[in-house]
Amino acid sequence: MSIYYIIFVFIALASLTVPQKLQLKVAGFLTVIITFFVGLRWEVGNDYLVYLLNYQSIKNGTGQSVSTEPLYQLINYLSPNFEVVIMFFAAFSFLFLFKTFKFFTERNAVFSLLLYFSLFLITFNIHIIRQGLAISLVLFSYKYLFEKRTYLFVGFLVIAALIHKSALFCLVLLPFFKVNYNSRYSFLLIVSSLLIGLFSDSLINVMYDILARIPVLNTYSEFYRIGEATNYGFSIGIITDCILLLYLFSIRNSLSEKQFFLYKIFFVSVFFSFLFLVQPNALRLLYYFRVVLIFLLPIVIERSSSLKRLVVQILVVLFCYFYLDRNFTAVDSVHGRSDRNLEYKTIFNHENTY
């Protein structure tokens, strides 16, 4: 497991020492390293063998692939071997991630990369690689939503949905962006979603029936049936999100236009976190929104004085380390312990390719 921590230490040190004018260049260099780290892995990740079986069924024409999205199928069909599939998803995931860095952050690009590596990389790019690419495409598409070029935003959602159909859920952002986020009315939405979430046990049957009738969500509603639902309650992640949301709300009038735009997306993430407190399938949908944390957390650092800034940065680094380490100790109900699925191996560690 040491390779994960070695990379973490390098990114953490760079985030604390690299001057702002070099942040984007250093982030680009580190992103290339991470791309090869992810793209050259072998049998690493909970879903690795599932994707391998998908690849084999698509190449052999057996029709047994559980993933029917046409672009995903095409990528597998055109790839000469499975190693190319893994590298393709890694390369394009981090390409669009870096392109998003260039638009939404430059002065804190390395710190944003540290946050991504610690909070999301293992889940998005090691475990659920197909949705990981969809998340990067959606994250980049926010540029067009910000620029009010809605047709391009929707176009990227469609492309992402051809890889993982859950990306279409992000269309809910369009009506949400009509809310006045400078008013108390916005927090009435949060309170309402919290109340619904707290009493959702009594609504669970109705909720699953509704989800089963929605094309984007029916796959997850079938997989996570009532007997498998878990009440996540107020996890550390949700509590942290609430604290950050309250802080951003308190300084909303001093946020830049891009920062306020990202705050809106994060607001939607917290709204649905409350609304679906007992919905495991909702966690997968909220990844598209919650990922903007990598741009919002540095705002806290920016607003600190020189001495406080260093202290806050160190605290965030420690938080990131805790979150990264948590990925190796969490127990997965299907695949066993996460550390067994994350033992790092490369394509050079085996004799024969599939």
Note whether 55 and 153 are same-domain residues: yes
Out of 14-23, 196-205, 321-330, pick the least confident. Answer: 196-205
Note whether 134 and 8 are same-domain residues: yes
Note whether 12 and 157 are same-domain residues: yes
Note whether 139 and 196 are same-domain residues: no
Note whether 10 and 136 are same-domain residues: yes
Note whether 148 and 198 are same-domain residues: no
Q: Can you give the length of the chain in residues?
A: 354
Please indicate, yes or no, if residue 173 is contained in any of the structural domains. Answer: no
Please indicate, yes or no, if residue 354 is contained in any of the structural domains. Answer: no
- pLDDT tens digits for 233-250? 566 777 888 889 888 888
Question: What pLDDT sits at residue 219?
Answer: 62
Note whether 129 and 71 are same-domain residues: yes
Note whether 189 and 121 are same-domain residues: no
Please indicate, yes or no, if residue 353 is contained in any of the structural domains. Answer: no
Question: What pLDDT sits at residue 207?
Answer: 63
In terms of residue numbers, what domain contains 95?
1-168+306-348
Please indicate, yes or no, if residue 113 is contained in any of the structural domains. Answer: yes
* Interatomic CA distance for residues 29 and 8, integer angstroms: 14
Residue from 82, 37, 36 nearest 59 by CA: 82
Domain boundary (303, 322, 337) is at 303
Note whether 299 and 310 are same-domain residues: no
**DSSP code string of 331-347:** EETTTEEHHHH----BG
Question: What pLDDT sits at residue 24?
Answer: 95
What integer is the mean pLDDT of 271-293? 82
**DSSP code string of 9-61:** HHHHHHHHHS-GGGHHHHHHHHHHHHHHHHHTB-S-STTHHHHHHHHHHHHHT
Please indicate, yes or no, if residue 174 is contained in any of the structural domains. Answer: no
Question: What pLDDT sits at residue 227?
Answer: 45
> Judging by beta carbons within 10 Å of its beta carbon (0-12, 13-18, 19+), is residue 134 exposed, middle or buried?
buried
Question: What pLDDT sits at residue 226?
Answer: 46
pLDDT-derived band at 331, boundaries 50, 70, 90: low
Average pLDDT, the chain: 85
* Interatomic CA distance for residues 249 and 311, integer angstroms: 23
Note whether 28 and 125 are same-domain residues: yes
Answer with the residue of higher pLDDT: 124 or 316: 124
Q: How many domains does the chain have?
A: 2
Answer with the residue of higher pLDDT: 328 or 28: 28
Cβ-contact 296, 248 below 8 angstroms: yes
Note whether 151 and 26 are same-domain residues: yes
Answer with the residue of higher pLDDT: 212 or 74: 74
Question: What pLDDT sits at residue 229?
Answer: 46
With b for 16 or more beta-carbon neighbours within 10 A and e for fewer, the 210-244 pattern comes to: ebeeeebbebbbeebeeeebeebeeeeebeebbeb
Note whether 310 and 297 are same-domain residues: no
Cβ-contact 64, 57 below 8 angstroms: yes
